[in-house]
Structure formats: C-alpha cells, structure tokens
Amino acid sequence: MARIICVTNQKGGVGKTTTTVNLSACLAAAEKKTLLIDMDPQGNATSGVGINKNECEVTSYHVLMAEATIDEAMKETELPNLFCVPSNGNLIGAEVELVSLENRENRLKDALLTLKPHFDYILIDCPPSLGFLTLNALTAADSVLIPVQSEYYALEGLSSLMDTIERVRESFNPQLEIEGALLTMYDGRTRLASQVAEEVRKFFGDKVYQTVIPRNVQLSESPSYGKPIILYDIRSHGAQAYLNLAKELIHHD
C-alpha cells in the first residue's frame, strides 16, 4: 500500500519541486514503485522528469475535474519505477472551478483510492500557496514533507502552514502527520546556515531529517535537461544527498 507524501511550503524558492523530483527518482532507483503527482500549474516537476508539459492532453487538472482517471493521466519516465501525473497551465483554472463543486477537498483523495495498492510511494508536488490544490494534496496525503531553505527568512510562514495542517486534520484528514522537515540549499561554511538549522530543529524537534541538501550547481542545472539529478550527475553532492534522503525515508518507514 502506497505511502502518500505531500511536499509543500507556502514560501516559494525553498527547493520544493527539486525535492519532489529528486526524492521520487531516488526512491524509484531503490526499486520502490513511485508516482509523482504534479499539482503546481507551473508544471516544473513534470518537465523535471523529462515530460513536455505542453504536449500533455490529460493532466492533474482533468483528474481533479473528474474528466479522467489517474491511470489515464499517468505517464512513464526515463526511470523504470517512476511514473508521473503531469501538470500544465490548465491547472490554474482548477482553483476557481473547484469552488462551486461538491466534495471539492477530496477530489484527489478519491482519485487515488484504486491506485494506492499498486505503488510504494506517491509524492505530490504542491504550488507555493494554500489554495484548493494544496488542500486536495493535504487531504489525500498520509504525511507532509516540508522543505526549509537555509536562509534568514526560513521560518517565515511556517506557523501559517502548521495552522493549515492542523485545520486539515480537524476537518478532512485526522491521520495527517508531519513526515519531516528538510533543510535545503545548505551551505555549511556559513554561520547563518548553522543558526537556521538550529532554529528549525527547535521548531520541529526530531522531525528534522539528518540529511541536508547542499547548495549545488548540478542540482540547479539538471531541470534544464529534463533529468533528475541521479540521471544528470550521480557523483554530485546533490545526487548523493537525495540518495541519502531516500535511504533515510525508507529506513524510517
């Protein structure tokens, strides 16, 4: 039975999509059957695994609108165990259209019911906002993985996110857990990064991953080639970090 993990942070530029793409790829490389669901209208996770978002006729938008099943939307990737439900600009309309629909918070959860037994992990990439797209992801998920940038404003907005998670627990998904907080863009040479890491560990306690994701040129380059980091440069520090994160996640489960 799949473990469904929602990767979210309402603050943009924290490595959310980078984490979803590369953690998914590393789980697949560890022979875990993995599904990446792109719930961001920008479609960066889609292009990050080598799928042309502009050529996708069936996307997560159609799944949310009950116009297609997950199976119909799902696409293969270069990695044998990694599949993707793509996204593109069509998803922008979902935020508005969902407002008037019944059962609007459970659209993704209901769509995933028949699929859960066939995967080990399902990772959902969310937009940097707390609208209906993120709400659907949180309602469908077993847990939340929160990337936290190792910068001065790292904790900004986290209280808001935690409040949203608590409200989702109370109203839609009582079993929702914090999977963990992940320090991203970490530069161990700076005092600031160490201070931020300390503050994040105070905030999340033992929910902070031991693995930290470093600032890494190859991690920045790989999306432009439509490849996860392990296919672009497996020897890079970024690739090794995400492989370690996948091991930590699997070991924890």
Is 40 a residue whose pLDDT tops 80?
yes
* CATH number assigned to the domain comprising residue 208: 3.40.50.300
Beta bridge partners of 5: 123, 143
- Position 99 scores a pLDDT of 85
- Position 32 scores a pLDDT of 98
Is 248 a residue whose pLDDT tops 80?
yes
Is 20 a residue whose pLDDT tops 80?
yes
Tens of pLDDT, residue by residue over 180-190, are 999 999 987 88
- Position 109 scores a pLDDT of 97
- Position 177 scores a pLDDT of 96
Domain region containing 101: 3-252
SS3 annotation, the chain: CCEEEEECCCCCCCCHHHHHHHHHHHHHHCCCCEEEEECCCCCHHHHHCCCCHHHCCCCHHHHHCCCCCHHHHCEECCCCCEEEECCCHHHHHHHHHHHHCCCHHHHHHHHHCCCHHHCCEEEEECCCCCCHHHHHHHHHCCEEEEEEECCCCCCCCHHHHHHHHHHHHHHCCCCCEEEEEEEECECCCCHHHHHHHHHHHHHHHHHECCCCCECCHHHHHHHHHCCCHHHHCCCCHHHHHHHHHHHHHHHHC
Tens of pLDDT, residue by residue over 121-152, are 999 999 988 889 999 999 999 999 999 998 87
What average pLDDT does this structure show over 81-106?
92
Number of domain units in the chain: 1
Tens of pLDDT, residue by residue over 203-240, are 899 999 999 999 999 999 999 999 999 999 999 999 99
- Position 155 scores a pLDDT of 78
